[in-house]
Amino acid sequence: MTAMFDLSGKTAIVTGANTGIGQGIATALAQAGADVALVGRSSADETAEKIRALGRKAALIRADLSTIEPVQEVVDRTLSELGGLDILVNNAGIIRRADAVEFTEEDWDAVVDTNLKSVFFLCQAAGRHMIGQGGGKIINIASMLSFQGGIRVPSYTASKSGVAGLTKLLANEWAGKGINVNAIAPGYIATNNTAALQADEGRNRQILERIPSGRWGDPSDLGGAAVFLASSASDYVQGHVLAVDGGWLAR
């Protein structure tokens, strides 16, 4: 059974790997045996240290995914520095908050370009390589707002709903080519991005009251799901959005 989850000899790209969810997933993939290319606008040195301490290789690739300009370079450098590409985790994302009647075109474009446009074109670039080698695994990071509407985050909701739909489309096109395309939808995870919510006593209480597990998630809670979707254990899983939410959607 353990062999089904073994990623030894595999190489992964994880975007937004410097902290939070990206760091948790990158570390989990390394624990399962993968080498990892860490992609982001800021330094992922801490994540690289964790991966190298596990005896795996880590490549640091600085890239601003607010545009698609660096997409092909990310794939090319992963291939040249780590020698392969078997797994792609599209985790990098941003959020902007404002009432819908006040929301600006600038904030709309910034979020959709990063969270959806760059995700598609990175899938495309990785997918071309994976099709050529006969297979691979793509894991997109969706959201609770892939299922729900949310408030005051129109571009984020639109982008993450788009990620869920894109995941299904790519699975339909690429399943027959040996590529599994799935997504993880994290619940309320304790990261820098949710620090304001955690600090808001009233909102924090409301959130915890709805989570059956009774706690915020930790980035490490997503590691098992990521390893599953990156491994041969998920070879017959396609186009699925896996909620890792402590039961939030079940409440």
**Residues with a known catalytic role:** 156
174: exposed, middle or buried (C-beta count within 10 Å: 0-12, 13-18, 19+)?
buried
- Residues 175, 178, 181, CA angle at the centre, nearest 5°? 50
Strands 87-90 and 241-244 turn out to be unpaired
For residue 32, which of 13, 55, 16, 48 has the smallest C-alpha distance?
A: 55
Q: Which long-range contacts (CB under 8 A, 24 or more apart) does 62-66 make?
A: 63/15, 63/39, 65/15, 65/39, 65/41, 65/92, 65/114, 65/118, 65/122, 66/94, 66/110, 66/113, 66/114, 66/118
Contact 206, 237 (CB under 8 A): no
